Structures are given as C-alpha cells and as structure tokens.
Amino acid sequence: MSRRPTIVAGNWKMHKTLPEGEAFLQAFLPRLASRKGTGCQVVLAPNFTLLAAMRDPCRAAGVGLAAQNCHPEARGAFTGEVAVGMLAAAGATHVLVGHSERRHLFHEDDDFLRRKVQAVLAGGLTPIFCVGETLEERTAGQATAVVGRQLRAGLRDVASPAGIIIAYEPVWAIGTGKTATTADAQQMHAFIRQILGELLPAGGAGMPVLYGGSVKPGNAAELLAAPEVDGVLVGGASLEPEDFLQIVAAGDRAAAQV
C-alpha cells in the first residue's frame, strides 16, 4: 500500500484571461468545498497573469497553485522571463518544469531543466517535473531510454526527494485524445519508480508520479486505479469546472483506496 498523496493537477496552458480564471474559481471552489473526506490534493496551473488573483481563494480552499514555467536565475537581464522568487511572492506553491511543450516548442534542454528544478527547490516551491517520450521514440523502442535520460539529467543534483512531484506525459497523448493504456502507464510508472530508487535511495519511493495526456472524466478513474499512478496532470479537461470536478472526484475515490 502506498502512502503517497493522490494529486489531481490542472494545467491551463495559454488559456483563460483574468476574468475567465475568476469565473472558473467561482464555479469550482464551492463545489470543491462541498465534497466529503480528506480527498486528493488539487493543484491548478494558470498562466502567470492569474497567479496573484488566484492566491487567496486557492489558499483558503487548500488548492495548490502552480506556475507553468520559471527561469533558473533569480534576477537579471532575461526579458520575458519570470524568476522563482517572483512566482512565490505572487502565490505559487508549485512550478511545472520540463512540460513537453517547453521541451519541444521552446527547445528547453535537459541541462536547462535541471537548473530550473534546482531553482524551484531553492526557492522553497514544489517542482512538478515532467518527462515523456515522443511517438517516434516510442515506436523506435526508445521510450524508457528517453524517460530515464530525462529523469537522470533533471534530478541529477537533487539531494532529497522531499517536495518533488514527477509527471509522466507521453508526448503522443497530449492534446491528441489518445491516452496511454492503463497497462502502458503502469509499466512506465514502475520504470520511473525504479529509476527514482536508483537516483534517490534515501526515499524515491515517497515521490508521487502523475500521469498526463488526454486525461478526461471518462478515463481518469481507470488510470488512477493503477497502483503506480499517484495522480493525474490534466490539460484540456481542466478548463471546464464540471469536467475537472469529475476528475477530482475520481482522485478522491483513488485517495480513499490508498
């Protein structure tokens, strides 16, 4: 039996203006408050412009607030970038690092992402470190080699596993409507846990590993039932309060089983 927390995180990507984000919270938070039990941990990742406005309502509701990106340096001449200290002051509790859209569309490499993980930890926030293979890599039989490389590189300088979340998101499943089968997810999560054990003998076993990629109300429960899947990172289906609430309910049921 795992004592890892069950986490349901929503990644809003480049969606929602400030009024749209506030409207989401008005619909979402009262329903979230009315659910029963200790439940799963809920995290929302809006764009930077919503963080400060979402801080107080999310904090009051016990909802984590994730930034979608950061720069590894604390300050300086990096036009358009945001430092971890700035995110923390705006209310962020978590930071997504290495989302596949950052890796592939913005060409962020393993070493840059390792520095981001270090910066987030140094700033006292929780990195949600994302890994995952492309379709070409999977078809070529390279999926575990790629995910293993991403983990070893990104976590190389991590001394303690405390306060780190991993998200496995196969790139071919993101925004495509194709989900990894539960068996595929289970297999890769078991591999990730093995790598974490090698990298972090002191306690990689306690690190939550989330699955992401076309998670919807209709498939969340099955994915969350896999023993090695500790939660989900949800893109498109986190944009509508009703859809996301259904996934949170699936997370609550999974949390109750742990």
Rounded to a whole number of angstroms, the minimum distance from the CB of residue 159 to ligand PGA is: 27
Shortest distance, position 68 Cβ to ligand PGA, whole Å: 10
Element (H, E) at 121: helix 110-122
Question: Active-site residue numbers?
Answer: 99, 169
Of residues 63 and 200, the one with the C-beta less far from ligand PGA:
63
Least distance in Å: CB of 172 to ligand PGA? 10
Positions in the binding site for ligand PGA (CB under 6 A):
11, 169, 174-175, 212-215, 233-237
Cα separations (Å) of 246 from 34, 182, 215? 13, 19, 11
Residue 27 gets which letter from DSSP?
H
Given the complex with ligand PGA, which of 41 and 214 has the nearer CB atom? 214
Cα–Cα distance between 254 and 256 in angstroms, integer? 5
DSSP labels, 221-256: HHHHHSTT--EEEESGGGSSHHHHHHHHHHHHHHHH
| C-beta of 7 vs 200, nearer to ligand PGA | 7
In one letter, which amino acid is 93?
Answer: T
